[in-house]
Structure 1
Amino acid sequence: MSALFQNYARRPVHLVQGKGTIVTDDTGKEYLDFTSGIAVLSLGHANPAVVQAIQQQSEKLWHTSNLFESPEQEKLAATLVKETHLSHAFFCNSGAEANEAAIKMARKHTGKNIIITFEKSFHGRTFGAMSATGQDKIRQGFGPLLETFRTIPFNDIQALDAAIDSDVAAIMLEVIQGEGGINKISPEFAQAVADICESKDILLIIDEVQTGIARTGTRYAYEQTVLKPDIMTLAKGLGGGFPIGAMLGTSALYDTFSPGTHGTTFGGNPLAVAVAQTVLDNVFTTKFLNAVNEKSAYFLDKLKTALPNHQIVGSGLLLGIKCEEEVAPTIEKAEQNGLLLVSAGPNVIRLLPPLTVKKEEIDQAVNILSSILM
């Protein structure tokens, strides 16, 4: 019997090494990793710049309390909010923690309790984040959840209008629902959300845990819409594989989190901050973002040509293949053929290669997918 709780449906593959997009298991078999640790490995496995950042920082300082000033955190925060309407950051360890901070911030700032979220959303597995998540499979078995969330259909303007009243503190959404099936916000719905938030003085929280840090071809996915979040959450790709999360907010929220209102022991530790800064120094450049968009267009063209009977959805290098049947058997076949994939709900294959993926690796992945799906 395993000494581990069996809360993961683990695959029978033991990965022991990775470089770029390629990972190797304990038998020596190589795979194309189109999961990226679920949108985490922005610069791929064992990227030299990330390795160097960890090595250099590990020889200086691993950890210190947030009781002390951190110029490194200040620099990282400034990089994240540069050329945006956002102005401040709080660092934590994960997306769920970032979303918990966002929920607390919205409720404390407004003095109201209700937050509107959406069906098929995913915001994490802590109690607040789980309550915000619009998927029953995530919530089942844990008893009464927080009652201060109203979950409504995504992209439904009529349902949104009906959910608004004077008790609403915030609307919380993903621009692309990653876990829920690669569902993009429609331009009409985005405009409706923006109008309601402005006219009703409601905060907008955008969860960019999966879509942020260039995953969709821009620094943040909201930049491709009319939306301007009051609060934004990040994690996954921010650390390139090292655990870190962040909540960003506007200047109007600055005084809401005063000393003692929220905190974390490990959030923004020197190792995490050094790695995240290195990731941003590489990713937040025009050249890198252009390359992501070029590879995305190439990938989309190859997929549509190879799989004419399937709908291809998503943006940047967060793509999905919609299937009529459940995709678990297809993902298993792909693994047997040397391609690692992950689903987005029961009927969507999610494609999340490192942002540094090469075109020839995209070709290899498409060839494997077409041989299985055609």
Structure 2
Amino acid sequence: MSENELFEKESELMIPFFKRLPVTFKRGKGCWLYDFNGKKYLDLIAGIACVSIGHSHPEFISRVYEQMRELMHVSNLFYTEPQIRLAEKLKEISGFDKFFFCNSGTEAVEAALKIARKVTGKKKFLALENSFHGRTMGALSITWKEKFRKPFEPLIQEVEFCKFNDVDDFLGRVNADICAVILEPIQGEAGVYEVSKEFMDAVFEEKERYGYLVIFDEVQTGFCRTGEWFAKDHFGCSPDIMTMAKAMASGFPIGGVAVTNEVANKIEISEHGSTFGGNPLACTASLATIEIMQKENLAENSRDMGGYFRKRLAELGFEARGKGLLIGFDVGDAKALVSKLLEKGVVANNTSDTTIRFAPPLVITKDEIDFAVDALEECL
């Protein structure tokens, strides 16, 4: 089937949820993607911050293949070793006590919301303006942007939104009715904006007063993306619940919820579940990803290459935000720039009309960053 035929078939057969860029990728290697015609592109999206260890990593492929030959799925009616081994590894790197596995970030958020309501006995959530937590009904309810929410209202109640990094606004909204405060330590879809230390301190100080839970949505920021295992590690604070997905298995579908023992002890059997969640194949993919990250020091590479990338962007006059290899910066026309970069062989992403986001594989090198910056300079 030719590429043009694929475009036509997509229009004929697929529900039109997505507006795609006009390219069909056939294979990938490391930080590079190749289209139908063999043209090479530097991948600065990584499947929206997912393909953490690079495309077609040989050890990852080998371990997933071996697990596929052995056992892929039996459901959570039974015990499986990969699930327990993954939980052990997550406890080691995250500091949380217990875990639940699902299939995506938005599923992880849904589970976190249910857990918070069950544990506290309260209903109301406080989220932040510009937040993005997913597109299912619960996750959408705590997502701020009206264009996502409006077509599907009424959503779950009660939800209130606080101005981003505005401590006074937060103090005016928080009260004893709050079930949980949910936030992204660095807002990715909003354009890569970091929660301030002052705001974060207020969230945890008021927690002691009002007894709500704190949920960190680390779906985009987890697993070395920001130069630490999780963005929470930059703040030195410990939420009660944390959601994760994306880079967790380098593109293989899996999500997870991490909780403290204090939270877990108030959860009962059959209050939540998943048919596919935590299946042996997904758990093996995640465990392989984490162990490769450790072996190849990808948290360190994320810090170093992220700093280098921001330095090179500054040389072009951009004020780049973010930590590690989660980078955002503003331009005049982000959509046009993404199209121009694609022509130059660089795959980028705009989160708004004016903001570009880079979230490349964590294995990216200085030479590859230089290639991207040179292409960007040619597009200006």
Aligned match for 2:131, one of 114, 121, 138: 121
In structure 2, the residue matched to 1:132 is 142
Q: Which deviations, in whole Å up to 9, do the C-alpha atoms of 1:202-257 show, x marking residues without a partner?
A: 11000000000000000000110143110000000001010000000000011333
In the alignment, is the contact (CA less than 8 A) between 1:116 and 1:149 conserved in 2? Answer: yes
1:319 aligns with 2:320: no
Aligned length: 370
2:43 partner letter: D
In structure 1, the residue matched to 2:22 is 12
Shift of 1:84: 4.4
1:315 partner letter: K
SS class of match (2:89):
helix
SS class of match (1:311):
coil
Shift of 1:347: 1.4
Could you tell which deviates more after superposition, 147-156 or 266-275? Answer: 147-156
Q: Which deviations, in whole Å up to 9, do the C-alpha atoms of 1:6-29 show, x marking residues without a partner?
A: 110111111001001111111221
Aligned equivalents of 2:140 and 2:373: distance in 1? 35
* Structure with greater helix share of residues: 2
Pair 1:280–1:101, CA change in 2 (3 A): same
In structure 2, the residue matched to 1:329 is 336
In structure 2, the residue matched to 1:239 is 249
Shift of 1:108: 0.4
1:366 aligns with 2:366: no
In the alignment, is the contact (CA less than 8 A) between 2:99 and 2:256 conserved in 1? Answer: yes
Q: Which deviations, in whole Å up to 9, do the C-alpha atoms of 1:149-194 show, x marking residues without a partner?
A: 1112110111111111111011000011000111111111111111
1:360 partner letter: D
In structure 2, the residue matched to 1:59 is 69
CA RMSD of aligned residues (A): 1.3
1:98 aligns with 2:118: no
Aligned equivalents of 1:84 and 1:100: distance in 2? 20
Aligned match for 2:303, one of 278, 282, 293: 293
Aligned equivalents of 1:180 and 1:288: distance in 2? 25
Could you tell which deviates more after superposition, 216-225 or 292-301? Answer: 292-301
Instruction: Please list, as runs of the form range in 1=range in 2, the aligned pairs for 1:100-249 lying within 5 A after superposition.
Output: 100-249=110-259
Shift of 1:81: 1.9
TM-score calculated relative to the size of structure 2: 0.95
In the alignment, is the contact (CA less than 8 A) between 1:113 and 1:148 conserved in 2? Answer: yes
In structure 1, the residue matched to 2:3 is none
1:250 aligns with 2:257: no
1:64 partner letter: V
In the alignment, is the contact (CA less than 8 A) between 2:81 and 2:280 conserved in 1? Answer: no
2:73 partner letter: H
Aligned equivalents of 2:345 and 2:94: distance in 1? 40
In the alignment, is the contact (CA less than 8 A) between 2:93 and 2:229 conserved in 1? Answer: no
Shift of 1:83: 5.4
SS class of match (1:179):
coil
TM-score calculated relative to the size of structure 1: 0.96
1:338 aligns with 2:353: no
Pair 1:338–1:242, CA change in 2 (3 A): same
Pair 1:159–1:281, CA change in 2 (3 A): same
